[in-house]
Chain A
């Protein structure tokens, strides 16, 4: 599996939906609705993805090996319907890191070109 690293750059840049899903899964597994809620939290409500975008992205991310299905179980906080949970693979984590690095470099470039005046703007960008 060690050779995955060289492959992680090939998928960049990620679509906003894919990168947000990776972010949402970074601290543990979630089901579809959980991912949506987490994306709303991460983006402070700025990015809203519909079920079609969510599962279309999940499908492609499964094929690319970025995420994998964990198991199907009910979420006690919602109801007793069984939900399918997803989690990051180690390759998915590498790709998320590579994308974050790419974005950080880009932000650095913006700063040297005086397009990013203060820290407030950076915080603002973080949610976009």
Chain B
């Protein structure tokens, strides 16, 4: 009987793992393992409490949840393609916009061939703007882009930072220490600073060096590891993370997964 229970639960686990394919790949990569774990825990507890009957009920509820949320995730995945507007708003307001505008114009022209920011990278810039606004800094700097990468939470950049055990609070504190809370005027769309423009240019360069025809969160993160104008090496340093650690981890993830984010 015990043996049968074990097999039933194992079967249930396997079936759910298979069903996770209904979710878009990035979502699955970020949360699939945890969802399977949670479902496993639920099954075990439900079975102990109510036997096969309750387990069947749990399955029905979970299937309904799966259909609705897989659909929602797929829609939100395709929705977020449309994040260009804030960036254009940024550029309109931006200082140092010459460089950045050139960058974006170029990526527009060559969208098919090279240099286009991925959806996730676009989102990172949007979140960076949000961070600058929260700090009441007048312009987006590389450190806000770092925060943006973390908050985006699903791209290779975010995964690498998570793997290194870096938390959002740590980075917030580090930025606060260096830049302070900024009494700058609050504007809805902070400008992109010259330094952040450099970050984007370096990111495009990183992508070219890796032979990638897109600029993703991993390239943004790579370009932040520099100590120069467009980098956030100091911010990382204060958290106790070495730039070459970040670099190494990014390249390792890219090599092992060849993930496109």
Contacts and interface: CB of A to CB of B under 8 A. Distances in A.
B41 interface: yes
Interface string B115-140: 00000000000010000011110000
A50 B66 contact: yes
B153 A62 contact: yes
A52 B16 CA distance: 11
A59 B153 contact: yes
Contact of A4 (B62, B134, B165): B134
A1 interface: yes
Interface in B30-66: 30-31, 34-39, 41-42, 61-62, 64-66
B127 A1 contact: no
Please classify how large the interface on chain B is, using the bins under 10, 10 to 19, 20 to 34, 35 or more. 35 or more
A36 B42 contact: yes
B186 A65 contact: no
Contact of B135 (A1, A55, A84): A1
B134 A33 contact: no
Nearest to A32: B38
B133 A51 contact: no
Nearest to A70: B167
Contacts, number: 89
B151 A51 contact: no
Interface string B63-79: 01110111011000000
A33 B39 CA distance: 8
A54 B38 CA distance: 10
Contacts of A112: none
18 contacts: A1-B134, A1-B135, A1-B181, A2-B181, A3-B133, A50-B62, A51-B62, A52-B35, A52-B62, A52-B68, A52-B69, A52-B70, A52-B73, A58-B31, A59-B31, A59-B154, A68-B167, A83-B37
Given A32-B35, A33-B41, A51-B39, 19 more contacts: A1-B134, A1-B181, A3-B133, A3-B134, A33-B37, A50-B65, A50-B69, A51-B38, A51-B42, A53-B65, A54-B35, A56-B27, A56-B73, A59-B153, A62-B153, A63-B153, A65-B151, A78-B41, A81-B37
